[in-house]
Amino acid sequence: MPRWRALPDELDPQVREFASQLRRLVDRSGLSIAAVADRTGYSKTSWERYLNGRLLAPKRAIVTLAEVTGTNPVHLTTMWELAERAWSRSEMRHDMTMEAIRISQARAALGEFGPTATKNGKNGSAGGGSRTAARPSGGGATGVAGPAGVAPTVPPQGQAPLADSLPYGGEREQGFRPGERAGGGVPHADGAGAYAGGGGRGPAGQPGTGGGSPDRQRRKRRLTMFLAGVVGALVVIAAAVYLTDAGKGEKDDDAKPEATPTSSAPELPAGVECSGKDCTGKDPEAMGCGGEFARTTDSVLVGQAKIEVRYSETCGAAWARITQATPGDEVRIQQAGATGVQKGTVNADLDAYTPMVAVTKASEAKACATLKAGQKGCTQ
């Protein structure tokens, strides 16, 4: 019994040559198919298909087989590439053949559902025989093509073709059903040519009184729906514009900061009792503006006395202080450009300070002193 099965007759010559070469390599190596499968990592079933021409081996399997059998992989890979191209061409031809078979089957199936013969035998024989075209005696009449495998039918001479056979723009466009004339008339079964029902135009050409065609009614409905859609779209756009403008106005109103009363005092640290104009004329120590909240911003010596400008940013006010003075010496503070002056007089403590004046920065305040000895001086 031979080791290998005969290769399929329909196999491409290049694929056949490649499969034969693989068989020779396996025979020359002395390995069984099971041993080849074990050493290459591909299953025994896969190698049986590769070697019998039922499946083209992948390139990796070919390279591995060349390594196992001690064959130059370059030559074997070249043969595999040629076989792979031939295999692809065979698959393409097979797919085209199957597609042609399916198309033929579909045409044959559609031929079984052709138009059936009428009772009066106008379109075919009464016994269900083959549908044949009635050849007109006058010649020149064009038949109506039927499905695949069915002979075309020709309308009888002297009778208008049915609505289904008319081209676009004929009675089909006017909305008539097959075998029905304008106005809804239907031929009588006796074939006398009279039209029953409806007031349409009959064979004799009498005008009918039928209503509007369905297509015309459909066109009117479509036009109505289109106009309604346009109006609806315009309403939506107008509403969107209105809401956008309204929202923008609300945002603008929200963006405007509320005017805060100028008289409202800012939040002050604990112990501070006044701020700004509220501090004018008040004692800085009693209002909590001195100590850690005050600093000397300017000073000058008048005789032996020292004149200082004390400024509190927290209170927004300034005052004058005199030290190393003599009882009876006078010190005063004045805001630049203002007429109001705050004064203080030295007593037995040899120092004194004035009430406060409201300022926005220390440079606005100016301190002056008039000593009892007659000397005078001011800060810059």
Does position 188 have pLDDT exceeding 70, yes or no?
A: no
Confidence of residue 126 (pLDDT cuts 50, 70, 90): very low
> Do residues 211 and 218 lie in contact, with contact meaning Cβ atoms separated by under 8 Å?
no
Confidence of residue 102 (pLDDT cuts 50, 70, 90): confident
Does position 379 have pLDDT exceeding 70, yes or no?
A: yes
Q: Which two tokens stand for residue 9?
A: 């007759």
Confidence of residue 141 (pLDDT cuts 50, 70, 90): very low
Confidence of residue 265 (pLDDT cuts 50, 70, 90): low
pLDDT of residue 9: 86
pLDDT of residue 225: 85
Residue-averaged pLDDT of the chain: 74
Q: Which residues, 6+ apart, have CB-to-CB distance to 301 below 8 Å?
A: 307, 377
| Residues 371, 303: Cα–Cα separation, whole Å | 8
Does position 202 have pLDDT exceeding 90, yes or no?
A: no
Identify the residue with better confidence: 100 or 28: 28
Confidence of residue 207 (pLDDT cuts 50, 70, 90): very low
pLDDT of residue 348: 79
pLDDT of residue 28: 92
pLDDT of residue 208: 43
| Residues 69, 28: Cα–Cα separation, whole Å | 8
> Do residues 354 and 345 lie in contact, with contact meaning Cβ atoms separated by under 8 Å?
no
* pLDDT per position as a tens digit, 208-252: 444 456 777 877 888 888 888 888 888 888 888 777 766 565 555
Beta-strand ranges (E) seen in 243-364 are 295-302, 305-312, 317-323, 330-335, 341-345, 352-353, 357-358
Confidence of residue 278 (pLDDT cuts 50, 70, 90): very high
Nearest to 26 by CA among 42, 9, 11: 42
pLDDT of residue 127: 40
| Residues 262, 51: Cα–Cα separation, whole Å | 102
* pLDDT per position as a tens digit, 281-314: 999 999 999 888 899 999 999 988 999 999 999 9
Mean pLDDT, residues 17-40 taken together: 93
Identify the residue with better confidence: 177 or 97: 97
User: What is the number of other CB atoms lying within 10 angstroms of the CB of residue 18?
Assistant: 26
Q: Which residues, 6+ apart, have CB-to-CB distance to 316 below 8 Å?
A: 275, 276, 279, 358, 359, 360
pLDDT of residue 215: 75
The whole-model pTM stands at 0.33
pLDDT of residue 125: 40
Identify the residue with better confidence: 349 or 37: 37
Identify the residue with better confidence: 20 or 120: 20
SS3 for 18-84 is HHHHHHHHHHHHCCCHHHHHHHHCCCHHHHHHHHCCCCCCCHHHHHHHHHHHCCCHHHHHHHHHHHH
Question: What is the C-alpha R_g of the chain?
Answer: 58
Q: Which residues, 6+ apart, have CB-to-CB distance to 279 below 8 Å?
A: 287, 289, 315, 316, 317, 356, 358
Among the ranges given (8-12, 19-23, 50-54, 92-96), the one the predictor scored with the smallest mean pLDDT: 92-96
pLDDT of residue 257: 53
Q: Angle, nearest 10°, between helix axes 59-69 and 73-111?
A: 150
> Do residues 364 and 336 lie in contact, with contact meaning Cβ atoms separated by under 8 Å?
yes
| Residues 205, 199: Cα–Cα separation, whole Å | 11
